Amino acid sequence: MGEIKISFQICRLLHFRKILIWLCICVFLFSFGCTPEKKKVNPVALQPPPTVVVARVIRKTVPIYEEYVAGVDPTTGADIVEIRARVEAFLLTQNFKEGQPVVKGQLLFTLDSSSYQADLRSAKASRDKARADLEYAKSKVTVEMAEANLIAAKAQLSNAEVNSARLKPLVKEKAVPQRDYDNAVTEVLVAKASVAEKKAKYNNAVLNQRISIKKALAAIESAEAAINRANINISYCVIRSPMDGMAGERLVAPGNLVGRGEPTLLTQVTSLDPVRVNFNVSESDYLKLMEKFIKSGKKLMALPNLKLILGDGSTYPQRGRILAIEPVLDPKTATINVVGEFRNPDRLLRPGMFGRIRLVMDQEINAILIPQKAIMVLQSAKNVYVVSSKNKVELRSLQLGENVGKMVIINKGVKPGEKVIVEGQQKVRPDMEVKPVYRPVTTEPGGK
């Protein structure tokens, strides 16, 4: 009896354990069955909309730019003046720093001028002597003495003639001896000869005076020329900058003899303000440019202003102008060379530098514009993300026009006032809700 009760209890315990196992299985299956229902909830939907930067599609009349490779002319891009020693002398001092700016009239070198100072003193002495000779020549002392002698001779002649005339009738009457009359006639002849001699000496004195005056004047002029030459040579011993610019390398050190045989090159001064820039335009662009020029009736200098984009992408702050257009088209490249000129007050531009010239060639009236960085290229198609009024993302295909700086003209695909995503395109997909943040854009050409 006791064994039967133990067996019954064991059976009940086993049955309870089976029921407990089945309950655990049911609970597990119920939990497993409910899990897929919870996984159907998208966690992304619970996150806030991503923030994107948008810009408005604008409508505006914009200029159409063309860009050309340009270079600052290494030969004629700037005025280069060679500084040479024009006289033979020893180089005494250097009065500038190499590679530094110099101004017009600034002292660069000094030469030993002692020999030319001596030449100047000698020339001044010669001039003083010539002036004294001129004064003596103009004094007429010799002429006046010759003239006095002539007058005396004429007086003696007159007296002899009177005496001869007085004795002539007396001789006929034999009141006086014939010898006295003959002596009187002889005295007349001697007096005439003396007058002729004195007249010749007087004329010679007058001629000598004229020649002496001319010689003295010539000597004075020669001395003045020697003085000027000495002053010029002395001035060449002080070498100054002929213009504003940059001083080059010193080529001769102080202490050396320069200027012997030919002018010795000492350094160079380069004027970098303004500078010339060369660029080539195509034949079609040249014709467009000249068509505008002819229609406007403006001068060449009034053609569109030039912008220069430097090698690092920055825009040069000074505007340039067209200085000249070459008369001949290059048949090999079908281009024509245009010379531009830019102010360069800070000496930033140097001969040999390269960049890009940006020139206004046309304008687009009421163009639809969006930033270039808003455009996405998907399998060669141009697309853009547009944010709707409900902040939903739409994908649009575009037909592009000309680039205008950082903007691009859109021929088809968007309308003015719509919002396009310019930053954050990688975070969004079509029909996704986003949080737009506006950023203003500019139609001006880009650059750092």
Say if residues 69 and 375 touch (Cβ distance below 8 Å). Answer: no
Domains located in the chain, CATH noted: 51-60+367-438 (2.40.420.20), 79-112+237-271 (2.40.50.100), 115-236 (1.10.287.620)
**Residue 422 near residue 371 (C-beta atoms within 8 A):** yes
Contact 89, 235 (CB under 8 A): no
Write out the chain's pLDDT in tens, 448 residues.
444 444 445 445 445 555 656 565 655 555 545 444 444 555 555 678 888 888 888 888 877 777 888 888 766 656 788 899 999 999 999 999 988 888 899 999 999 999 999 999 999 999 999 898 888 877 777 777 777 887 887 888 788 788 778 877 877 777 778 887 778 788 888 888 888 888 888 788 778 878 888 888 999 999 999 999 999 999 999 999 998 888 888 999 999 999 988 899 999 888 778 888 889 988 888 888 777 777 666 655 555 578 888 888 888 888 888 887 888 888 888 889 888 888 888 888 888 888 898 887 777 788 888 888 888 887 778 888 898 888 888 888 888 887 777 888 888 888 888 888 888 888 888 888 888 888 766 655 544 3
Q: What is the pTM of this model?
A: 0.54
The C-alpha atoms of residue 412 and residue 368 are separated, in whole angstroms, by 9
